[in-house]
Amino acid sequence: MKHTLLVELLTEELPPKALGKLGDAFATAMFNGLSSRALLDEGARFTAYASPRRLAVSIQGVRGSSPDKQIREKVLPVSVALDKEGQPAAPLTKKLTALATQAGRESIALSELERASDGKAENFFFTYTAPGQPLASGLQVTLEESIAKLPIPKLMSYQRPSGDTVHFVRPVHGLIALLDDKVVPLSILGLQSSQTTLGHRFLSRKPSLAITSAERYAEILEEDGRVIASYDTRKEKIRTALQAKAGNDHILMPEALLDEVSALVEWPVVYECHFDEAFLSVPQECLILTMQTNQKYFALTDTNGKLRSRFLIVSNLETTDPQHIIGGNERVVRPRLSDAKFFFEQDKKKKLFDRVSGLSSVVYHNKLGSQAQRNERVVAIATSVAESLGADVALAKRAAQLSKADLLTDMVGEFPELQGIMGTYYARHDGEPDEVAAAIGEHYQPRFAGDALPATRTGTVVAMADKLETLVGIWGIGLAPTGDKDPFALRRHALGILRMLVEQKLPLSLSHLLRQAASQLTGNAHFTDPVADVQAFVYDRLRGLLRERGHAQDAVEAVVSQMPDRLDDILERLDAVKIFAALPEAASLAAANKRITNILKKNEGVHGEVQPKLLAEPAEQTLYGAMTETRQAVDQAFAKADFSATLKALAALRDDVDTFFNDVMVMAEDPALRTNRLALLQSLHAMMNRVADISRLAA
């Protein structure tokens, strides 16, 4: 018979930012623990529940006990088990007594043992049927293990009425363990299992709720307790209600905010509130951030993206007269918006440029100096990048100078997330060129995977300089990423550099960019030139980036393994490799290229030009002639950056290459012939690998 099990921990309010993970972890650990003990039927499934005051799981397909199990246990080697007369020795007698207890028997006779080899020696084995484990004992251990595995942000210590000290994320006041409609006796965290719980603090229709059936847990909580137990169900209910209330306006609904609000309410109700339109004179990013961060409100914009003076709240109370709830939230948000308005007005009284000198008192890193020193390095790198790109150097220098000045403003001091954004507003207020103002905000881009790249050329230049300085500077003082630890987000900075180089097709040398950044720290006693390591790190990130975008691993490796110094044409190279790989000649040429690569590796240091008069065999003469004829087409196509045509031209060499390897002994005894043939292969290898290392395509 299939059963449904319910386990619930009734707690005080759980940390909202951790609730989703706690709920999933608890349910998954319980399911996996029972499964590992054979207490679940095939096809068993579970439902996770998590609300501000409870973690619970319902599992369908639970067994009352695990099945009986046949066990074949090794007893002892025969040489140890029997004495010289072939009678049971003392070690065997002792072992059989222990085995009898384990198998639920009074005794075990020698005749019941199986005598067999384990591959090394002859042994005695005993086979018996172990009875299944009752659910209660397996569930007790599973619950203990599941609680121990929870990703608890910070443990609390508290005392039960008995005086016992208990450790958990929040005090626990109730434990339900119900198999269908029967309580399973459990004990944990100073509690005994029952079938009662509590509903909503204010809306519950009963002081306590009796869960009469594990199957009806969510239904009873919702109908009588006014609690939506499922975190996911509650979240989607909130999402739907917000969208309905927003009407024709666009609702700003970050997933992280929706997650947090879903963890704060048990019975969500959405209400509409308003603030004074005078606050709309403040940059809307400030207002939006304070509403989302401090109050957990949902801002609204019109179809043009302009902030509205109405906003939405998610309340934990449902009432026919919500005016006191609406009015209370409107009163609460007003001081926050007033603070934002005050900071904005005060900040505008001092120009950004006048704040730059103050960066000298802000420590960037104790081994890399102040923000002012860092700013000087960014300006120098930005100047070099602008010159290389033919961008406006004056604009790049000015934007780089001002890029960190808003760190000293009151607004960014209150809301660090607005750095760059506020700099753009203040620069425009100061009358800075629009491209300079835009670049101050853009230089942080891309901030995360999928974020937009800088839209202006000046923004790109400063963003590139800022990321290069961080990547090379932090790495150079010994703080390279390790494992999954990357406190300075160097992986993100590397990906930002790559995305700009690749997606914006910037004709820049990666090695030159890194060397230029490193040169700014020459003379720093804490700094060791990391360019080689950083460059390898960047290429590794490039491999991952290209694979994530759907490019085949062998094609990616064919292109990236050559460590191309410019990346503006890397996508075209990948496309060309893909087209080449589909040609019937590709497999043979790739295999030949791999063979050539191996031969040349074993003969490093052998160099020289091909001497046509030393080409003794017809096959090598034919190959040399075909190469000479093909080279012109390859050179012309490559010069036009037509990488597909470059690789396609190589297809004509397949038969001649195959014949060469069939008929010619490369490592001839005659040194002159050997050197000449190696030179021929070097020339062929260079021509074949101009676009990519096609040996990487070999199976």
What are the tens digits of pLDDT across the range 7-57? Answer: 999 999 999 999 999 999 999 999 999 999 999 999 999 999 999 999 999
Residue 487: exposure state from Cβ atoms within 10 A (0-12, 13-18, ≥19): exposed
Tens digit of each residue's pLDDT (9 = 90 or more) over 110-121:
888 999 988 888
Q: What pLDDT does residue 102 have?
A: 81
Tokens standing for residue 69: 């199990």
Nearest alpha carbon to residue 288 among 270, 302, 300: 300
Residue 552 has pLDDT above 80, yes or no: yes
Q: What pLDDT does residue 350 have?
A: 97
Q: What pLDDT does residue 2 have?
A: 79
Strand partners of residue 338:
none
Residue 321: exposure state from Cβ atoms within 10 A (0-12, 13-18, ≥19): exposed
Tens digit of each residue's pLDDT (9 = 90 or more) over 454-479:
999 999 999 999 999 999 999 999 99
pLDDT band at 282 (very low <50, low <70, confident <90, very high): very high
pTM over 0.85: no
Judged by DSSP in three states, 48 sits in strand
Instruction: Name, in order, each residue with C-beta under 8 angstroms of 252's C-beta and a sequence gap of 6 or more.
Output: 288, 292, 298, 299, 300, 301
Residue 86 has pLDDT above 90, yes or no: no
Tokens standing for residue 562: 């050559």
Helix 421-429 with 323-347: angle, nearest 10 deg: 60
Tokens standing for residue 388: 């290389």
Q: DSSP alpha helices (H): ranges in 640-697?
A: 643-650, 654-663, 671-688
Q: Which fold has domain 571-697?
A: Isoleucyl-tRNA Synthetase; Domain 1 (1.10.730)
Query: For 483-505, what is the mean pLDDT?
Result: 95
Q: What pLDDT does residue 658 have?
A: 92
Lowest pLDDT segment from 17-26, 155-164, 454-463, 543-552: 155-164
Tens digit of each residue's pLDDT (9 = 90 or more) over 172-190:
999 999 999 999 999 999 9
Architecture label for domain 352-550: Orthogonal Bundle (1.10)
Q: What pLDDT does residue 484 have?
A: 83
Distance from C-alpha of 424 to C-alpha of 436, rounded to nearest angstrom: 8
Tens digit of each residue's pLDDT (9 = 90 or more) over 637-677:
999 999 999 999 999 999 999 999 999 999 999 999 999 99
Tokens standing for residue 208: 């306590």
Distance from C-alpha of 473 to C-alpha of 534, rounded to nearest angstrom: 10
Distance from C-alpha of 561 to C-alpha of 564, rounded to nearest angstrom: 8
Tens digit of each residue's pLDDT (9 = 90 or more) over 415-458:
999 999 999 999 999 999 999 999 999 999 999 888 999 999 99
Contacts 24+ apart (CB under 8 A), 165-171: 166/190, 168/11, 169/11, 169/14, 169/15, 169/18, 169/22, 170/11, 170/12, 170/13, 170/14, 170/15, 171/11, 171/12
pLDDT band at 1 (very low <50, low <70, confident <90, very high): low
Query: For 151-164, what is the mean pLDDT?
Result: 91
Q: What pLDDT does residue 375 have?
A: 97
Residue 84 has pLDDT above 90, yes or no: no
Average pLDDT value for the chain: 94
What phi, psi does 72 have (nearest 5°)?
-110, 110
